[in-house]
Amino acid sequence: MTPTGSAREARTRPVIDLHTHSAVSDGTETPTELVAAAARAGVDVLALTDHDTVAGWAEAAAAARTHGVTLVRGIEISCAWHHSSIHLLGYLTDADDAALARELARARDSRSTRLERMVALMAADGIPLGYDEVLAQVGPGATPGRPHIADALIANGTIRHRDEAFRSWLGDDSPYYVGHYAPDPVRAVELVRAAGGVPVIAHPFTRTRTGALDDALVERMREAGLVGLEAYHRDHGPAEVARAEALAGRLGLLLTGSSDYHGEGKRNRLAENTTKPEVLEAIEAASSGVTEVLRP
């Protein structure tokens, strides 16, 4: 866990977790269950940031009112740059923005077709898996992704946890990896800003990514409207945190901290990293206001 404040601050300041996923994308809990889990964990402010979709927003909003949790509605956009995957968090975007909606729909459609090709490659090598087993793991309206292949392998007893599947078969450098459409990260920043939202790079220097995120690209994204870096994340060690802090200081970017919680899909725990209240205030101020932070 990366601390973002002193123990005394933790007792007096709200607990803010700005990166979580529900079963609408690749989490294992419904938006209602996710919000309830956050309330039990002592989270005061929760951001729902499902991959390439806003389909869970309405359900999460209803649950947030029930449990007294402040909700920040967001998305996580999968971007591609030089054969490397970069994830962009977009907070408080307009759910009805046509240009952003088209881009997200294109990414979702591409994801669904690539899974079938990956499963075929795996099955040809004797890995016990059928595409119907994968589809059984994708909830109604959910965005299909590699974690659903992992869940199918768990369900049929081949592995015990998603991490095993990604280490052996599902990583970007795996012979079974099949690419999918993803927007250029600079274009994604422009789309989020045009939709009234606030773009923040998720786990920018994660040690699990194939390839490195170039500082020059971050600078280009900043020129396009990038607002922050998710510095405090389980995938960042001290060197990555220091790099993010230095780069944010040089470029005038905000620093956030989040859990990237997926329920039982990942080992990440709610609020294991958090964001300072003044950073959330700055994010809210940077938005157009078309989508507001929902407070109980």
pLDDT digits (tens, 9 = 90+) for 199-217: 999 999 987 655 568 899 9
**Given this model, what pLDDT does residue 4 score?**
52
pLDDT digits (tens, 9 = 90+) for 87-143: 999 999 999 999 999 999 998 888 778 889 999 999 999 999 999 999 999 887 777
**Given this model, what pLDDT does residue 1 score?**
45
Across the range 256-279, mean pLDDT stands at 94
**Given this model, what pLDDT does residue 269 score?**
96
Across the range 185-202, mean pLDDT stands at 98
Distance CA 101, CA 166 (A): 29
Q: Give the CA distances from residue 169 to residues 54, 116, 161, 165, in Å, rounded to whole numbers and listed in that order.
A: 29, 14, 13, 5
Distance CA 80, CA 89 (A): 14
Residue with tokens 């938005």: 287
Across the range 258-278, mean pLDDT stands at 94
Distance CA 277, CA 72 (A): 13
Q: What is the pTM of this model?
A: 0.84
Helix (H) or strand (E) holding 257: strand 254-257
Q: Answer positive or negative: Cα dihedral of 118, 107, 233, 61.
A: negative
